[in-house]
Amino acid sequence: ALQLMTGTTAAYLAADAAADLFPDVPNGKYALLSGHGTRPGRAVPAEGGYRVSGQWQFASGMAHATHIHSAIQVEDTGELRVLAMPKSQVTLDGNWDVLGLRATHSIDYHCTDVYVPHEYTYDATTSTPVNGGAVYRIGLVNMSAIGHTGWALGVGRRLLDELKRVAAARTGSRGAAVDTSQFHAEYATAEAGLRAARAWVNDVWQDVEKTLDRGELPSTEQDTLIRLVLNHTTSTVCEVGRTVHRWAGSAAIRRGPVDRFLRDLGTGAQHITSSPVVLQNCGKWLSGARPDARWSFLDLT
């Protein structure tokens, strides 16, 4: 999360602001950003910038951050922008009391009437980086999809590896469920599902990389598949999690890796990028119901 918000801020901010936050000096310390981008705050235009107020949620990595990354909506014009400002200018609500992903410290935060210079904001939908390479032409939401997709694949892989360790420890004991043909069949099915999802992820992103290498922007179909492959991968890993929970026995309920990753999966799968509404929008475009629509964040417009 910190890499996503720090990297995109460095890529999209105006040159002077980027140079201030990310000084190019030996052993220099640069800004680390955390925040939230799907619920915009209110930005009232002021001389040279905006007066910003708002309340944001799920600021993953906030404990490590020096600066805040937040979506804002400009009053009157409705323009969506993203700001970067010192963490000291917001109030941290510290309310991350959750079942899983506890270590992300994804707390809520708010501010009231804080001045932010215009050059420390950027167009939330931009696909034209000021700094950085071709990958930043995919835009903020697609950059986020890389992280969420990789997270889902990693959790699925770890859960199956942990179940394999549980099975090895229990095989040969009296009445061991892991010695049954049903366990072997379900493990194989889960392995196949995860590997198939990973193969499709690679296929979708290799196609996007080829487009970027040609100096082009992703098409609406590619934008759709980026969102769909994330949704599909998350759903597939949820099925993997159900298989692991069914066969891991006490390892799934006592403190340990299986328990922790099942809780992390249950929490992470609730992320808005994998929501049913995004899946519905993917279907609208792919089925031809909205052939002229384009993606704006997670909505078809």
Alpha carbons within 13 angstroms on the beta-carbon side of residue 178 total 19
Rounded Cα gap, residues 96 and 91, in angstroms:
14
* 3-state secondary structure at position 60: coil
Q: Using alpha carbons, select from 21, 33, 112, 117 the residue that is nearest to residue 70.
A: 33
- The low-confidence residues of the chain, meaning pLDDT below 50, are none
Do 115 and 47 form a contact (C-beta atoms < 8 A)?
no
* Domain ranges (residues) in the chain: 2-123, 134-300
Pairing type for strands 49-59 and 107-117 reads: antiparallel
pLDDT tens digits, one per residue of 132-161: 999 999 999 999 999 999 999 999 999 999
**Which pLDDT does position 38 carry in this prediction?**
78
The neighbour count for residue 113, using CB atoms within 10 Å, is: 10
**Which pLDDT does position 145 carry in this prediction?**
96
Q: Which fold has domain 2-123?
A: Butyryl-CoA Dehydrogenase, subunit A; domain 2 (2.40.110)
Give the end-to-end CA distance of the chain in Å, rounded to a whole number: 27
Rounded Cα gap, residues 152 and 158, in angstroms:
10
Do 53 and 111 form a contact (C-beta atoms < 8 A)?
yes
CA dihedral 250, 253, 258, 260 (to 10 degrees): -160
The CA distances from residue 115 to 49, 50, 222, 264, 267, in Å, are: 7, 6, 38, 37, 34
The CA distances from residue 53 to 8, 90, 112, in Å, are: 22, 10, 4
**Which pLDDT does position 37 carry in this prediction?**
80
**Which pLDDT does position 297 carry in this prediction?**
84
The neighbour count for residue 93, using CB atoms within 10 Å, is: 14
Rounded Cα gap, residues 104 and 1, in angstroms:
9
The verdict on domain 134-300 having CATH code 1.20.140.10 is yes
Do 35 and 151 form a contact (C-beta atoms < 8 A)?
no
Do 46 and 86 form a contact (C-beta atoms < 8 A)?
no
Strands (E), 30-165: 33-46, 49-59, 67-74, 80-86, 91-92, 107-117, 121-123
**Which pLDDT does position 230 carry in this prediction?**
98
